[in-house]
């Protein structure tokens, strides 16, 4: 699945079968987290007007559903000034994306292209909770070629930097 997953930015309107949606959400539930604190909450948005209101890109709103990943920073841990809720959410979202790829579904990390305050207002997210990421989910209407990656030798070393 690691090889199959791509960021999909064009979706067919067909709904995601509920059992596939639950399979994907279950994958998030099983993700590891700081101290197993599971600081996350996932909101599945299918309502067309809400999808539009929380998306800054048409192709995101056109997917049959959007999964919004929220985290409670007070529930996760922090160490040396690093807050771990972002990492917890990153792992859980990637579980979602790999499980979706397994079911032939497309996803795309949306990390920056949304306004957190707007999302909170539209979905009724409490003020102390952070909206970390979202992903559209649906059947792909495109087959992007793999995007380039650095070679292993550029990113790996043994026994020293
Ligand atoms: C933390 C994070 C945030 C991202 N935010 C966005 C985003 O806001 N919009 C978008 O279109 N893609 C976003 N992406 C997707 C990346 O552009 C994409 O993963 C990268 O170009 C590699 O392509 P691939 O996923 O098809 O392998 C994000 C990816 C990550 C990991």
The domain that contains 24 carries what CATH number?
3.40.109.10
Give just the sign of the alpha carbon dihedral 128, 86, 35, 70. Answer: positive
Check whether 79 has a pLDDT greater than 90.
no
Surface-to-core class of residue 91, CB atoms within 10 Å of its CB (0-12 exposed, 13-18 middle, 19+ buried): middle
- Average pLDDT over every residue of 38-56: 98
Residue whose C-alpha is closest to residue 43's, from 25, 24, 69, 16 = 69
Query: What would the pLDDT profile of 98-112 be if each residue is shown by its tens digit?
Result: 999 999 999 999 999
**Confidence tier at 42 by pLDDT (50, 70, 90):** very high
**Residue 26 placed within a domain:** yes
Check whether 81 has a pLDDT greater than 90.
no
**Residue 3 placed within a domain:** no
The total number of structural domains in the chain stands at 1
**Residue 125 placed within a domain:** yes
Q: Is 109 in the pocket of ligand 1 (CB under 6 A)?
A: yes
Check whether 78 has a pLDDT greater than 90.
no
The CA 159 to ligand 1 mean position distance, Å, reads 31
**Residue 139 placed within a domain:** yes
- What pLDDT sits at residue 145? 94
**Residue 157 placed within a domain:** no
- What pLDDT sits at residue 82? 87
**Residue 133 placed within a domain:** yes
Q: Is 8 in the pocket of ligand 1 (CB under 6 A)?
A: no
- What pLDDT sits at residue 11? 98
Q: Which residues pair with 107 in a beta bridge?
A: 7, 137
**Residue 87 placed within a domain:** yes
Is 98:1 a contact under the CB 8 Å cutoff?
Answer: yes
Q: Is 112 in the pocket of ligand 1 (CB under 6 A)?
A: yes
């Amino acid at each position: 699945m690691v090889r199959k997953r791509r960021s999909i930015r064009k979706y067919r309107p067909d709904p995601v079968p509920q059992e596939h949606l639950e399979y994907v959400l279950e994958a998030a539930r099983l993700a590891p987290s700081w101290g197993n604190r599971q600081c996350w909450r996932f909101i599945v948005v299918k309502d067309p007007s809400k999808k539009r209101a929380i998306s800054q890109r048409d192709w995101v709103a056109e997917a049959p559903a959007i999964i919004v990943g929220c985290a409670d920073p007070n529930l996760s841990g922090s160490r040396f000034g690093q807050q771990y809720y972002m990492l917890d959410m990153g792992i859980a979202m990637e579980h979602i994306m790999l499980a979706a790829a397994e079911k032939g579904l497309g996803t795309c990390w949306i990390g920056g292209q949304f306004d957190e305050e707007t999302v909170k207002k539209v979905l009724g997210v409490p003020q102390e909770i952070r909206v970390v990421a979202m992903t559209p989910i649906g059947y792909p209407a495109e087959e992007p070629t793999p995007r380039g990656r650095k070679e292993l030798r550029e990113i790996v070393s043994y026994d020293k930097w």
